[in-house]
Structure 1
Amino acid sequence: MGVMEKMRNSTASILWILIFSFGVLWVLADTQVFDAMSVGPRNLGTVNGEEISLDEYNQRVSNYTDQFSQQSGRTMTPEMRAMYENQAWEDLVAARLIEQKINELGITVTDSELMEMVTGDNPAPFIREQFQQEDGTIDQIALRAAIESPENSEIWIMIEQQLRENRRQQKLNNFISSGMQVSSMDIRNEFIRANSFADIEYVRFPYSEISNDEITVTEDELRDYYENNSARFQRNETYQFRFVSWDKTPTAEDTTNTVQEIEDLRPAFEDAVNDSLFVLRYQSAVPYRGSFVSIDEIRDEYRPVVDLEEGEVSEVVMINGDPFVFKKIEQRGDEIKFAVLSYGVEADPIGTIDRLAEEAEEFQFYAESDGFEEEAERRELEVQQATATKDTPFIPGLGASEQTLRILENLRENRISDPIELDNVFIVAQMLEKTPEGTRPFEEVRSQVENAVRTQKRKELMASRVSERLQGNSDLESLASASDREVQSASDIRMNGSNISGAGRELRVIGAIFDMEVGETSNAIQGENAVFVVRVTNFDKADPSEMTSADESEIRNRLEQQKFTSFNEVFIERLREGADIKDNRSQILR
């Protein structure tokens, strides 16, 4: 009663406060301050301050998806679309970085260069493709008419811009290539490595013959190895999360609908004059081949076509859960030409997919307020846990999923994601813990450290034993006899090869072989999987004077390509490392 009395006595004051507040809000609304507060990023991202717009991103994604549809004729899965979306972003970032590097280097294309690319004796490929005559020359009259036509003015502006960018890119490639010249010595050495061979005899002592009981490892040794090899135990940011899922497996009703679809097309298929066009138009899962097939070679599942009359279409046949019908087009002796109409059974986009999406959205809504586990229990959904690692799309329990990884990167601890549509399921995830990148704790990698230390000690112990045995058995035969082993042989070991017949990949041993003389027996060589003692029985070393001009040209081109490819693999990454890249996709594309 006292509280109500105070409120009645304060009515006038409260009223004036409300009037003042509404006045302030009215003034602020006129200044559009709330619009400024509510608006998020105005672009998809920036690269060193240069914007990447949503329009160009959407255009690139659309180009990728259209190209996929035209080439495959299949419907794009959610995960595949996510992959193309990520590729579009990466490509746009790379394009900005390269453009900025070109500008930094001052690479330009003059108007005279551009004219040469359009009207010169050796025009750009695009011009040649459009205006080349049968004799290989350019139709200069048609080209000039196309250039001077007023309705083509905007098109030519776009063409010129593209030609300039292509030439600038070419100049950058030339600039990079100029710093990666292949010397005559490089070519000579590559010719020798590729054409030099050795024959050897050897005795092999596998590391696996030393048991764990023969090796002792102390705590200090483990700690020292961990400290000295910390680079081996780095990890990217990791995500511990839990999730519930809804299976998108087609229902019995979906199967029935697909079967009915095929059944409804049977009369039209039978009446079709152009079977190739019919199969293409109705997007059969089995493409039209149009060739005769021997009856004996027809797959068991397709055997119903054998008993048909020419032009007849079979009843619907289920093969691996999908409906098929077959049309016998023509029979020639014991050979048949036929066509197949089939659809893969997929979950209905409305009856099944939309219903599952709605269930996932409802779960996410109630889980936000009532708790993730509580809502899962109420709906009798199994809660699963998983771990994901940044830049590693494969997630145990879910498979490869770029979009799940991207969502996890932007999900705060204890927050619940929106529904995520994968190829086979919908999921809703809750972030449990984010672990930043860095060196993994010793206790977490202790078993790996111990295995590495044991392996190292096993190699050293075996090498020591073989060296001791060599002191009293200097030739290969006596060493083999004293060690109860056989002398093995391998021939035609290439200098730039990696494998020894009967011994596997052994780069270090091959390197040692070509530093020896014929008849020489090596000391103990620590290989990848065993200790080797080797004797060279023959060398067939290449003579550089026998290298032909064709050999030299092939080697030069190959080495230049290898250098250029290796450089390109790290070029963009180096540009990225020094760039200020802002990625607003998680806010713009929610």
Structure 2
Amino acid sequence: MGVMEKMRKGTGVILWVLIFSFGILWMLQDTDLFSVLQKGPRSLGAVNGEKISLDEYNSRMQYFTQQHTRQTGNSMNPELRAQYQQRAWEALVNSKLIQQKMDDLGITVTDQEVVDMISGENPVQFIRQQFQREDGTIDRAALQAAIDAPENTQMWIRVEQQLRQQRRQQKMSNYLQSSMRVSDYEVEQEYIRRNTTADVSFVRFSYGDVDKSEISVSEEDLRTYYENHSDKYKRKESYRFEYVSFDKTPTKQDTMRTLNDIKELRSDFASAENDSLFLNRYQSSTDYTAELVPKSDIRELYRSVLDVAEGEVTEVIRDQGRMYLLKKKEETASKVRFVVFSLDVKADPVATLDKRAKKADDFSYFAEQETFTGEAERRSLSVQEGFATKGNNFVSGIGQSRQILNFLESSEPGAISKTIELPNLFVVLHVTEVTPAGTQPFEEVKKQIRTVVKNNKLKQHAVKQANTLAEQYDNLETIAEKSGNEVMTVSSLSMNDATIEGAGREPKVVGAIFGLKKGAYSAAIEGTNAAFIVKVNELRKADVQNLTPQVREQIRRELEQSKNQVFMNTWIEQLKEEADIEDNRDRLLSG
């Protein structure tokens, strides 16, 4: 009764509170706030506050889609589409970053520059293609008439925008490349590296030959290494998940359907006048060829073509998921010409693939309602485990998949995916663990640190043994005899080489060799797989006087190309690290 009494006494207050609340709700409704909240972000993302619109993204994806269709004749599968979606996003982000950098640097294009690109002494290629005479000169009258025509106004506005952007980007490129010029000194040093050679002898002390019982690793050794090299154990965000799969393997019915299809085409193939056109029309899995080949070179699978007459087609040949018909075109005593038509056995899009996709969809739905493992047990499905790292498309247990990475990067532990279609599978994922980026704890990496520290001690032991022998003896034969190794020789080792014949990849050792004088012995050199004591028997240093202008220019171009590629990749990544990039893709493109 006490509670009811309080409610009666407070009725007036409650009523006013309700009226006030509903009044605010009506007012907010009039401002369209709720529809805004429901819509979520209005842009796909932003780069330093500059929006990336959904229209920009869709336009880029449309370009990629059309380009793919033109090149392959096929539409994108879901996995390929996910890869192109990532490319479209990265292209838009990079474009915004470069545009912003051009603004920061004050790189602009004047109206006169645009005019010169269209009607100047040396117009751009687009204008040349449209208005160039047969003698190579520009038809100025026709160009001016096209500029003055009122119906072309909108077209010229678009051309001007494109040319202005093209010119601006060229200025930016020139600005960056001006700081990456390759000097004559760099060209000459590269020429010397490529053309300087040596003949050497050496004794190799393999790290694997060191007596392991002489090596001990303490807890203090491990912790010291960890503290001094903690940057090596930084990890990106990673994901553990479990999944069930539904394969897309063709059924027996699919095999019989393909067999019936190819049987029905047998007579048409025999009567076809243009075999290339026939293969193209019926989408042969084997490309058209009709070469005259020796009978002895025909592989076993195709040998039945020898048993039919010219113009006839063999019975259907079945092999590893593909069916063949062979049409003999010509035969001599030792050679035969024939055409191969084939069809792959594929799962029927409706009868097979849609059915399995529906099973995967059903599993995903009921796994959300119950539990992932419980639903898998109820359906007698095998649950497998996988692991992935942010930014790396390789997914352990499955392979390359941008779709799976997209789902993992936007999910919390416990999330269950919708059906994801891969080239050979439908999969449904359950995220079990998300590990944030950071430095791995000592205990997690202790085992691998032990291996590194032990190997370092093996190296130190081998280097010490080699140095002791080098100090005691002044010839390789005695050093080899005392150490139980052999003297090895290599001729014409190039300064640009990274490997040593008989010793494997040893760039550090090669570098040390060309720091020695002819006839000199080295101290112990710590290599990748062994320690080395080396003697230079002959040294042939390249003379830059032999560097021709043609070779000089070729080396310059190669160095500039290499330098530009490395610089541009590094520069873009640095811009990204410094930028504030907002990514709303998981909210706007999900589902």
Q: Structure 1-normalised TM-score? A: 0.91
- 2:586 is aligned to 586
Residue 59 (str. 1) matches residue 59 (str. 2): yes
Contact 1:276 1:290 in 2 (8 A): no
Q: Which amino acid aligns with 2:526?
A: Q
- 2:273 is aligned to 273
**Shift of the alpha carbon at 1:400?**
1.0
**Shift of the alpha carbon at 1:575?**
0.9
- 1:481 is aligned to 481
- 1:494 is aligned to 494
Contact 1:131 1:143 in 2 (8 A): yes
Write the distance in 1 (CA, Å) between the matches of 2:144 and 2:268: 51
Contact 1:73 1:283 in 2 (8 A): no
**Shift of the alpha carbon at 1:294?**
4.0
Change (3 A) 1:270 1:63: farther
Change (3 A) 1:569 1:395: same
**Shift of the alpha carbon at 1:324?**
2.5
Change (3 A) 1:133 1:513: same
**Shift of the alpha carbon at 1:244?**
1.2
Change (3 A) 1:274 1:370: same
- 2:402 is aligned to 402
Deviations 1:282-321 (A, max 9, x none): 3222222354444443443233444444444444332321
Residue 219 (str. 1) matches residue 240 (str. 2): no
5 Å matches for 1:191-590?
191-329=191-329, 335-590=335-590
Counterpart secondary structure, 1:561:
helix
Counterpart secondary structure, 2:280:
helix
Change (3 A) 1:274 1:115: farther
Residue 186 (str. 1) matches residue 183 (str. 2): no
**Shift of the alpha carbon at 1:162?**
2.1
Write the distance in 1 (CA, Å) between the matches of 2:297 and 2:143: 55
Write the distance in 1 (CA, Å) between the matches of 2:57 and 2:297: 49
Write the distance in 2 (CA, Å) between the matches of 1:346 and 1:525: 59
More divergent stretch after superposition (360-369 vs 291-300):
291-300
Change (3 A) 1:306 1:113: farther
**Shift of the alpha carbon at 1:230?**
0.9
Write the distance in 1 (CA, Å) between the matches of 2:70 and 2:183: 46
More divergent stretch after superposition (534-543 vs 257-266):
257-266
- 1:160 is aligned to 160
Aligned-residue CA RMSD in angstroms? 2.9
Change (3 A) 1:25 1:180: closer
**Shift of the alpha carbon at 1:220?**
0.3
- Identity level (%): 47
- 2:174 is aligned to 174
Contact 1:187 1:555 in 2 (8 A): yes
In the alignment, structure 1 segments of 5+ residues that lack a partner are none
Counterpart secondary structure, 1:200:
strand
- 2:114 is aligned to 114
**Shift of the alpha carbon at 1:323?**
2.5
Contact 2:244 2:376 in 1 (8 A): yes
Write the distance in 2 (CA, Å) between the matches of 1:243 and 1:358: 16
Q: Which amino acid aligns with 2:219?
A: E
- 1:128 is aligned to 128
**Shift of the alpha carbon at 1:57?**
2.1
More divergent stretch after superposition (152-161 vs 548-557):
152-161
Counterpart secondary structure, 1:485:
coil
**Shift of the alpha carbon at 1:407?**
0.5
Write the distance in 2 (CA, Å) between the matches of 1:312 and 1:136: 56
In the alignment, structure 2 segments of 5+ residues that lack a partner are none
Counterpart secondary structure, 1:411:
coil
Deviations 1:46-73 (A, max 9, x none): 2222222223323322332333333234
Write the distance in 2 (CA, Å) between the matches of 1:75 and 1:323: 24
Write the distance in 1 (CA, Å) between the matches of 2:139 and 2:311: 50
Change (3 A) 1:19 1:549: closer
Q: Structure 2-normalised TM-score? A: 0.91
Counterpart secondary structure, 1:126:
helix
Counterpart secondary structure, 1:343:
strand
Change (3 A) 1:338 1:156: farther
Change (3 A) 1:240 1:343: same
Counterpart secondary structure, 1:116:
helix
More divergent stretch after superposition (103-112 vs 397-406):
103-112
Change (3 A) 1:93 1:350: same
Contact 1:476 1:487 in 2 (8 A): yes
Counterpart secondary structure, 1:85:
helix
**Shift of the alpha carbon at 1:469?**
2.1
